[in-house]
Chain A
Amino acid sequence: MALKGFRRNFKPLQILTEEEVEAIHRGTLEVLWVTGVRVEHKRALKLFEKNGCKVDYNEMRVRFPSGLVEESLRRCPSSFVIKARNPRDNVVIGGDVTYFKNSCGMQITDLDTWEPRVATRKENYDGVTVLDDLGSLHILGPFTPYFGFEGVPPAMAMPESCASKIRNSTKVQIEGFSNASEIFQIEMAKAVGAEILQQVLASPPMTWYKDAIEALFRAVEAGFPVAVESGPTLGGTAPVTLAGAMITNNAELISAIVLAQIIKPGTRVVADDFVFPMNMKSGAPAFGAIGSSLHQVAFNQIWRGYGIPVYNVTSGYLSSKSVDFQAGYEKAIQGILSGVSGANIIGLHGSVSSAITFHPIQAILDDDLAGMIGRFVQGIEINDETLAIDLIEEVGPIPGHFLNKEHTRKWWKLEQFVPQVADRLTYPEWMKTGKKSCLDYAKERMKEILATHKPISLTPSQEEDIEKILEEARKYYKERGLMSEEEMAIYTESIKSPNYPCE
């Protein structure tokens, strides 16, 4: 059993020639051997050296022989299952199938002022409940929905976020890492019989910090799959040219894949693209820029050639600050291009402005967008029944029509995607509603979801385990001085609330 996702029914969009793909691959191999990658992790350096890399321990620089690189890419499975808490929600990553995953936000956005503020505990849990309900959302992202919430010290943000997703959703989750939070995340997933897709992030250019490599070791040793990604800005932490950035970004990702395949051959890997043009006025990533899509489409083409599933996280992030025209085109363009170029996972739902703000309302709106993209990649079914030649003969010219035909009743639901919250009324109907927009409908839908959707809850013994693991995490961070007395006092009070953990 698994979620079906959307199966693409046509050749993926390719924007590079075979020769261009080869040029980028050759360039990547050259850079991996000549320039190498800095890996700030002793155990990793030793493993690299043992497996044929040239290692400079002073500079922590690893140079990769091409044979090892290509062998490591071959060792990655081209498709695989990731286990969810409920087998119904397993996902099978790879091939022609696309899944959607939500993006995140540090804070919640106010729907009137569009200003960010810290989410409450209840808002965090409600956010997860909405994500659990959405039909075209298959995987929950890291830092979801918020990077921490009221009453939680920053050190506990990741374990608390992970716990809220495990408690209020049965969907597979991707998790990040921060202050070794992966230790507790992995334990929590194991406690409920699920797996986590562990995200590991390079620090561009050409560097892996210790924390990321630690997270990679822990996930791979736990037998969990990893999503390797970097996050360069073009002209800042990668060459400004898309081609050049393709090489540094690929080299960064491949260096971690080599390590993963050394630690445990056959480790399940997803290659994630998280690359942005730089806003040359502010130096910030230009979220929602078309350059990201160019990069993602080429990335998907190259990595499909490597036989490794691809993930496009960038598509969910925008420069817009509110739910408006710009937000719509930024998400739609990025999302559809990821879809037609064969991304296996597309980050889409929920972020309002870059990774600064999130709102479940936006996720509800994005679920319609995901459904549209999903419908598009499914393409056009051609067979005798869909060609309908006999039916055309039966109906003939006017006054014949197709609306009263069994064929119409059967096929319209298969052929059409009907959005849940888009405004599709006629003008008079629309005026009668008081001129409601999709945003109004999404607000109504959110109320309805929260009133009716009950995520499958944990068993009492699972809940006990999760709470025990959170307690371990609290102790761990307290001992390391990562939570102040003041933070602890507020936190303890919120934990003691009779409505803990959900509100």
Chain B
Amino acid sequence: MTVEIIENLKRAILAYDSEGAASLARKAVQEKIDPIKALDAMTVAIRQVGDGFGKGEFFLPDLVGAADAMSAATPIIEEEIKRLGTSRESLGTVVIGTVYGDIHTIGKTMVATLLTADGFQVYDVGINVTAEKFIQGVKKYKPDILAMSALLTMTAPEQRKVIETLKKEGLRDKVKVMVGGGAITQEFADSIGADGYDPTAPGAVKLARMLIGR
């Protein structure tokens, strides 16, 4: 039974079935399946899609479909993990979002999905995220990495603002900052004092590993 539910959960993610994944997650909790095992299984599934994306076998609609199914099921499983007072070993924790004034979701979601697939614990704080909201996220989740996206030239300076705010709050040395998005270049990333930049989503995963020395 346990094996069957976990396999079906994996399958639901590979079928981009959000409702199915959520209901299977609830079933897993009811059946008292080890939530860590369930989360691991989902990570295996999303990694499969992420790897396929890297190889050009899967495309953006697949990646986003799988990510949606994953995020439908994850909160249910995480709630159970918290209730049991256990925790799951992850590669590292990332808070990610698109900066204030910018509502571009796709690039950020790609990076979040691939990071999850690689074994990071990712907290996606969404789009149009103010500096204050980023700081709240950093305080709440205590991440190893803060990742920010900006597609528009006009919104890129917002990344500088977030970094400045981190400094003011005395949090800058607590977290590595990586930036990306269409408007960003290595020169810009250097100029605002970010720890890393990469133009591609798979590159961002490598960068994240490098930043935390894994």
Contact = CB atoms under 8 A, between A and B. Distances in A.
Given A426-B199, A428-B185, A409 B62 contact: yes
A429 B106 contact: no
A11 interface: no
B180 to A, nearest CB: 10
A404 B105 CA distance: 12
B61 A399 contact: no
A272 B192 CA distance: 64
A403 B64 contact: yes
Contacts of A429: 199-200
B199 A398 contact: no
Contacts of A475: none
Contacts of A409: 16, 61-62, 65
A281 interface: no
Nearest to A431: B199
Given A399-B127, A403-B60, A428 B199 contact: yes
A247 B91 CA distance: 76
Contacts of A428: 185, 199-200
B64 A412 contact: no
Contacts of B61: 403-405, 408-409, 412
Given A426-B182, A429-B200, A404 B103 contact: no
Contacts of A404: 16, 61, 64-65, 67-68
B118 to A, nearest CB: 20
A487 B174 CA distance: 81
B58 to A, nearest CB: 10
B141 interface: no
Contacts of A432: 199-200
A401 interface: yes
B64 A398 contact: no
Contacts of B103: 398-399
Contact of A403 (B106, B127, B199, B200): B106
Interface residues of A, number: 15
Interface string A405-432: 1101100100000000000001111001
A249 B127 CA distance: 64
A303 B67 CA distance: 54
A426 B64 CA distance: 20
Contacts of A398: 103
Contacts of B105: 399, 401
Contacts of B62: 409
A318 B185 CA distance: 40
A406 B15 CA distance: 10
Nearest to A410: B61
B61 to A, nearest CB: 4
Interface in B139-177: none
Nearest to A427: B199
A399 B199 CA distance: 25
Residue among B59, B62, B68, B185 with most chain A CB within 10 A: B59
Contacts of A412: 59, 61
Residue among A408, A428, A429 with most chain B CB within 10 A: A428
Residue among A404, A408, A426, A428 with most chain B CB within 10 A: A404
Contacts of B200: 426, 428-429, 432
A403 B63 CA distance: 9
Interface in B43-74: 59-62, 64-65, 67-68
Interface in A425-478: 426-429, 432
A430 to B, nearest CB: 9
A266 B86 CA distance: 82
Nearest to B60: A403
A406 B105 CA distance: 18
A81 to B, nearest CB: 35
Contacts of A426: 182, 199-200
Nearest to B18: A404
Contacts of A403: 60-61, 64, 106
A405 B62 CA distance: 9
B29 to A, nearest CB: 24
A172 B59 CA distance: 34
Contacts of B182: 426
Contacts of A405: 61
A401 B199 CA distance: 23
A398 B62 CA distance: 21
A3 B60 CA distance: 30
A433 to B, nearest CB: 11
Contacts of A427: 199
A422 to B, nearest CB: 14
B199 A406 contact: no
Nearest to B109: A403
A401 B68 CA distance: 12
Residue among A403, A408, A432 with most chain B CB within 10 A: A403
A428 B62 CA distance: 24
A77 B16 CA distance: 50
Contacts of A401: 105-106
A190 B62 CA distance: 48
A399 to B, nearest CB: 7
Nearest to B68: A404
A132 B185 CA distance: 43
A399 B68 CA distance: 14
Interface in B187-207: 199-200
16 contacts: A399-B103, A399-B127, A403-B60, A404-B61, A404-B65, A404-B67, A406-B16, A409-B61, A409-B62, A412-B59, A412-B61, A426-B200, A428-B185, A428-B200, A429-B200, A432-B200
Interface of B: 16, 59-62, 64-65, 67-68, 103, 105-106, 127, 182, 185, 199-200
Given A398-B103, A399-B127, 11 more contacts: A399-B105, A401-B106, A403-B61, A403-B64, A404-B61, A404-B64, A404-B67, A405-B61, A409-B65, A428-B199, A432-B200
Closest 6 CB pairs of A and B: A428-B199, A409-B61, A404-B68, A403-B64, A404-B64, A408-B61
